[in-house]
Each structure stands twice: as structure tokens, then as C-alpha cells.
Amino acid sequence: MRVLTSWLRHYLPTLTVSDRQLADDLTLRGIAVEGVHPLASGHLFEMDITTNRVDAMNHYGIAREAATIYNLPLAPLHPQLPVGTLVDEPFSVRIAPEAKGLCGRFTAQVLRGVTIGPSTGRVAEFFGLLGQKQISNAVDASNFTLLGMGHPTHAFDLDKIEGGIVVRLARKGEKLRLLDGTERTLEADDLVVADEKKALALAGVMGGWDSMITPETKNILVEAAWFDQASVRRSSRRHLLHTDASHRFERGADFNAAPLANALVSELILESGGKPEGEMIDVIDAEVEAKTAKRPSIELAVAEVRRHLGTTIDAEGITGETVLQYLTSLGCAPLLHGLEIYQVMLPSWRLDLEREIDLIEEIARVYGYNRFANTLPTPLPVVEYPTAAAEHAVRTRLLELGYSEAVSSTFASSDDAAVFYAAEAGRQTVAMENPLSEEASLLRPALAPGMLGMLANNINRDVREVRLFEQGQSFTGTLAVDGDFVTEVHESAQLSLGLTSGSLAATALHAAADAPIFELKGVVESLASLFTLQGGEAGLSFTTANGPAWLEQGRGAVALLNGQPLAVFGELATAQRESRKLRQPVYLAQLDLAKLYELPLKRVTAHDLSRFQAAERDFSFVFADSVAWKAIAEAIHALSIPELTRLAPVEIFRDPKGKAIPNGQYSLLLRTVFQSPERTLREEEIAGWTTSIVDALKELGGTQRA
């Protein structure tokens, strides 16, 4: 935003500080001046005004800030219109019932016998310094008022208005040609300013072509109104129109500024000739006024100001007089009703002030943060989050396994939710009231879509080897009894794993295409091993039944914790991969951390290493495909051999031709390690254990290979 210091000084005739000092002091109070450029008269400030300070997006608002800082009088805005002609019946303005609440105030002033020509005087001077395009005195008056005091206005050619003004909702499919020359097709929730027959302007966004001011215009209707933020934002985004007017209305316009802005514009237009007709028409919605200009007062105690802000570098600190001065200068109306306790009426232009702490922040801002002493805060006890230790253990284990932590958006699209979330009874996804886009319309019910997006970003940037994990919350909602809306939002701790590789390699145990799936299985087992499972290791099992549709059929599994689903993992379905244009296979796992966090973490214990030699023995057996590793491990552990310190499969072999190993069977090379912490093992002991292991494997139907 560009601001002229000469214009500011027009509102602050007693300001004596230099322009550069003014820029520094404004910046220290949050009204940031990012550039100072010398002009023939004064300087041009390049300013960055935050979106919550719409009141400061104009010269008068910034002058008010300077007046507060330096405790100077601010020149009032008192437009003086010439005496107008009297009318028997005022111009008709009404707000249609369907627009109630969307147009809280509408002011209109009829001007007769105006002369349209180029702007002169201070308008031409200030516009020239700003580099602002000049159009005509009527249009420039509206722009000058917007830059001067911040409220949008619009001038209509009165002779092109049929009947009176009606503020209403558009009719679906209604056409409106705007000032930019484009014709827009309106929707039923677009708010328009219309006459009795047609739409004249898209309310709060842009005026219409058919009623614009031309050199032939003789009679004008000046409009200044208050329009609902959400309504203006909706129309602005739908029609891809971001204007100076919509920028202000979307952030909350001043309800009481409309009549003043109207009078200022009318005064400027009438400087070139003409007269007003009748009094200014002012239609007010009392309910909107009560929510904006007549909001309830806020109680502010000076003791609370001191408590929150602490010690200052000034000896006397923040006094009641200081608080009164700042609040009054900012437009508040503080009324003392106790010992240094104020009942503060809020200015209509500061909708961002809602609570006592907001007023305290304003006092601190104007006083200057650089004037507070450096003090340490009172130490508070730190309470660890209940699941902090478990989250740390999971994170550490995944990092050790070669996975990198990532964070994705907490929003998801309805399409992704339909794919990755299986609705539960009485639960559904949670929709956002005001989503940023269709791709972010829901709180995510699952982490998998976000993980897919992160994997896709890596693949599209030629990163072929990716291993990611994300710990986060998923969101679901409890449905009301009638099933129409969500009554409560639930969060659940979840874990998502993503894996992709451009060069899969076979292992001794798995084919290349299967290796990532079994890697994810191993990760799930490793994470489960961090917790004390009910029923021990047997409490964790796996099944290929009832897998989700987003996994490729036959290429995934479900991990069960005591018979209840804990995780799903496997290869992403081909249809999903192709729809997302992923150039290589992707493998995902989704784990319910909330179920693991209900279990106690295992305590890490350390044991002395045995000083005695270990004995290694291998077994080669042929099993039917129906014999799983879990059955083999359980059969050997059931022998209860304390000296058996390690049991692991070393190699699996299948013969596709069925010659060395018959079809439907596989060869397993099994390795065992025996070691005692107290003595050297004898050969006859080891021989006895190996015999027991061979017998146990034969009972499973295994055939020992020579």
C-alpha cells in the first residue's frame, strides 16, 4: 500500500517529527513501513498492513495511529455539502428480505446538475504523487475517499436507474456486464445492487457497465454501504475478481463509515457544480448494527494491563492516564467505573477488538515493545504429554530403520476420503465450514492420502528411493441421532508409512517385487515389539483377508492385535497409482497408533554378553506352502531351549519348474545359534537340541534335505 506523508500531515497539522522518524515509529507499532521514497513534496511510504487491520488501510487510519503515538489532535472529517433542493418523495432504496444480514447499511445521495470533467485541486495533486490513474472527477472522488478514509463507495448514473434501488440476491443465470467490460453469469447467492428491473453492480466487488459515469452524465446517485464479509468473499472468488473494494469488505468494513464516505464523495463531486437533492437516504439493519457498531463494551482493569505487560524501562510505568490516553486516541470510549477499571466502548472500525486481552495488546503496541524491560517469565512446571514417551520410541525406531519423518496437510478431499476411509457406524468424515479448496474440504480421516502426495512429489522430482513416515491425528465425527450433522469431532493417533524404489532387489527370502511388502511387515512387527503385548508375541498376527480396496488385490495384508485390526500395508492398487500418475510402484502402511499407545512400553534392559563361544547350526527343510513361518517358529520355541539365542530364516527357495522342489512346496534354510552365559556347551547337548528341532519340524510335515 502506498501512502503520502503530505496527505498524512493534512490530517495531522501539528506533526513535527521527520518522515523517516514517523516511518520508524509506525513500524515499531506494527504498521510496517517497508520503503521510504523521496518526492517533490514529502515522501512516499511503501506499507505492509496486516489483514486484521483494515482500519489502517488508508491515510486517515494511519494518521490516527500517528496521533496516538505522539498524543496529537487528529483533524476531524466534516464534509460540507451545499444546501440541496427539497423533494416531496425521497428516492426509493430498499433491502430485499432475502438479503437481510448481507447488506447491513445502505446510504444513497442524489446529486443533480453535476459536471463531469477532470479532477483538480488536492485530488489531482495527491493522485499525481501516488501515480494513481485519474478517470473523471466523479470516479476519482470515490477512489480518493477510499484511499483517504478507507470505505468503498460507488457512483451510478441516476438517469440509467429504472425505479429505485433494490439490494437483493441475484437470480440464477442472471447476466451482469461489469466495469471491466466482462459479462458475468450470476449465481443465486451473489448479492447485487439492482434497480426495479436489472442488476446494476456486484455488491462490494465491482459496479456495472450499464450505469457507469460517462462524460454525458448529469445526475448521479452516490452509494456507500456495508456488505457482509462472507458474501463479498464468495462472489469475489467465484468470479475471480479481487478489487480494492472487495479487499476491504472481505476483511470487515466499518459499519458507521458509510454515511461519512458518501458525504465526502458527494462533496468532491459537487465542487465542479451541481446540487444535492433531498437528504441522504440511510437504510439500517438494526441486527447487523448490534453485531458491529454497537457491540457490548469490554471491561479493562489497569492492574491486568500491568500484570500481563510487566515492568517497563520507564520509572512510572503504565499508568491509568496512559491507558485512558491510548484508548481514547484509538477511538475507544473508556468510562471509569471503579478503581482503575474501565468499561470500554469499542470503535466501529476495530472489529478485531473482542476481549480484554486485545485491548491490553493495543496498549502494549502503542506504548512500544522496545520500552519493556527484559525479564524472565515465571517458571512453570512442565508436564509431559501422556503419549510423549511412546511417540518418541516409535519415531526413534523408524529413524533407525531408515525412514525419514515428514508432515502433510491435515486436510483432505472428499474423493480421497471415499477411497481411504471406511465409514464406521455412527461416524463420518468432518467437513470444513469454509474450506480453502475442494482438495482441502475435509479434516483428514486417514493419513494415507497425505503420504501419497509426499511420495508423488519426490517421484516427480526424480527421487527414486523414498522411505517416509508421518505420525499425526486423523479426524472423524459422531453423527447426530437424525444423522444429518456432526455433534462431536474425534482425534485418533495414526501412523503412515510410504516406500518406493526405482530399483527393487531380490533378497534371499523374497522376490524383488515382494521385498517392500515384507519390509513394511517387518516395520509393523518392530514397532509392536516396543510394547508389551497382551498374550505376548502371539498377540500379533497377520491375514490377507479383508484388505482395503486401495491395496492391490493379493499384494497386501492386515496386521491383527489380539484379533483386532492394527495396521494395513501393501502395494498401492494399480488404478490408484495410474490416476495419480505415479511412475513406479508405491507401498503404503497405515497403523492405528492409538491402539499401541494403550499398551505399556517395554522397559529397556541390558544383559552381560556371554564370554563363552556360540554354536551355530543350520537346518534345511522342505515344507508345503501352507506352512507359515509363524508355525515353524512357535514349534521350535515350544521346545523351551534356554540356550537357543537366535532363530532366523536364511534362505527360501522355490523351483518354478517343479524339479528340485515340487510345486506347492518351498525349501527353507533355517539358522539357529546356541550359547550359554555360564559355560561352554558340550557337543552332546547341542546334538540333543538339534534332534529335538528336527523332530518338531518333521511333525509340521517338513522333509529334511541332505
Contact 300, 361 (CB under 8 A): no
pLDDT confidence tier of residue 35, bands split at 50, 70 and 90? very high
Q: Is the confidence at residue 538, as pLDDT, over 80?
A: no
Give tens-digit pLDDT for 678-693: 999 999 999 999 999 9
- Same CATH topology for 93-291 and 298-371: the answer is no
Nearest to 701 by CA among 668, 672, 673, 657: 668
**503 CB-near residues (< 8 Å, 6+ apart):** 464, 465
How far apart are the C-alpha atoms of 490 and 444, rounded to whole Å? 11
How far apart are the C-alpha atoms of 499 and 503, rounded to whole Å? 12
**In whole angstroms, how far apart are CA 231 and each of 103, 178, 192, 261?**
9, 18, 10, 21
Domain boundaries of the chain, sorted by first residue: 2-70, 93-291, 298-371, 388-597, 615-704
Amino acid at 223: E
pTM over 0.85: no
| Selection from 191-205, 308-322, 425-439 with the highest mean pLDDT | 191-205
Contact 227, 191 (CB under 8 A): yes
Would you say the C-alpha torsion 88, 92, 95, 98 has a positive or negative sign? positive
Please work out, in degrees rounded to the nearest 5, the angle formed at the alpha carbon of residue 559 by the alpha carbons of 555 and 561: 170
Nearest to 85 by CA among 279, 224, 225, 236: 279
CA 257 to chain CA centroid, Å, is: 31
Which has the higher per-residue pLDDT, 624 or 384? 624
Nearest to 702 by CA among 649, 656, 659: 649
User: E strands along 128-286, which residues?
Assistant: 154-157, 165-169, 175-177, 183-185, 191-194, 199-202, 206-207, 220-227, 275-284
- Give residue 485's pLDDT: 65
Please work out, in degrees rounded to the nearest 5, the angle formed at the alpha carbon of residue 563 by the alpha carbons of 557 and 564: 75
- Give residue 530's pLDDT: 94
CA 119 to chain CA centroid, Å, is: 44
- Give residue 107's pLDDT: 97
Q: Is the confidence at residue 593, as pLDDT, over 90?
A: yes
Helix (H, G, I), strand (E, B) or coil at 310: coil
- Give residue 88's pLDDT: 85
Q: Which residue has the cell 510410504?
A: 498
Amino acid at 21: Q
Q: Is the confidence at residue 537, as pLDDT, over 80?
A: no
- Give residue 41's pLDDT: 87
Give tens-digit pLDDT for 471-522: 999 999 887 666 666 678 899 999 999 999 988 888 888 888 899 999 999 9
Torsion of the alpha carbons at 29, 32, 34 and 37, rounded to the nearest 10: -80
Nearest to 559 by CA among 585, 587, 586, 595: 595
Architecture per CATH, domain 388-597, reads as 2-Layer Sandwich (3.30)
Quick one: fold of 615-704?
Answer: Alpha-Beta Plaits (3.30.70)
Give tens-digit pLDDT for 371-400: 998 877 777 788 888 899 999 999 999 999
pLDDT confidence tier of residue 310, bands split at 50, 70 and 90? confident
pLDDT confidence tier of residue 529, bands split at 50, 70 and 90? very high
Torsion of the alpha carbons at 18, 22, 25 and 26, rounded to the nearest 10: 180
Nearest to 418 by CA among 563, 595, 579, 583: 579
Quick one: fold of 93-291?
Answer: Phenylalanyl-tRNA Synthetase; Chain B, domain 3 (3.50.40)
Nearest to 266 by CA among 437, 81, 525, 492: 81
Q: Per the structure block, which three cell numbers stand in for 437?
A: 479448496
Percentage above 70 pLDDT, the chain: 99
- Classify domain 2-70 at the CATH class level: alpha beta
Question: What does the pLDDT average to over 37-66?
Answer: 94
Question: What does the pLDDT average to over 611-634?
Answer: 93
Q: Which residue has the cell 472529517?
A: 77
Quick one: fold of 298-371?
Answer: Phenylalanyl-tRNA Synthetase; Chain B, domain 1 (3.30.56)
Give tens-digit pLDDT for 207-262: 999 999 999 999 999 999 999 999 999 999 999 999 999 999 999 999 999 999 99
The per-residue pLDDT of the chain, averaged, comes to 93
Amino acid at 390: A
Backbone phi, psi, residue 298, to 5°: -120, 135
Question: What does the pLDDT average to over 559-580?
Answer: 93
- Give residue 438's pLDDT: 79
How far apart are the C-alpha atoms of 684 and 180, rounded to whole Å? 98
Question: What does the pLDDT average to over 455-467?
Answer: 93
Q: Is the confidence at residue 108, as pLDDT, over 80?
A: yes
How far apart are the C-alpha atoms of 193 and 200, rounded to whole Å? 6
> What is the 3-state secondary structure of 495-507?
EEEEEECCCCCCC
How far apart are the C-alpha atoms of 496 and 446, rounded to whole Å? 9
Annotate 360-387 with b (16+ C-beta within 10 A) or e (fewer).
bbbbbbbbeeeebeeeeeeeeeeeeeeb
- Give residue 484's pLDDT: 63
**In whole angstroms, how far apart are CA 37 and each of 33, 46, 47, 57, 217?**
11, 8, 11, 19, 38
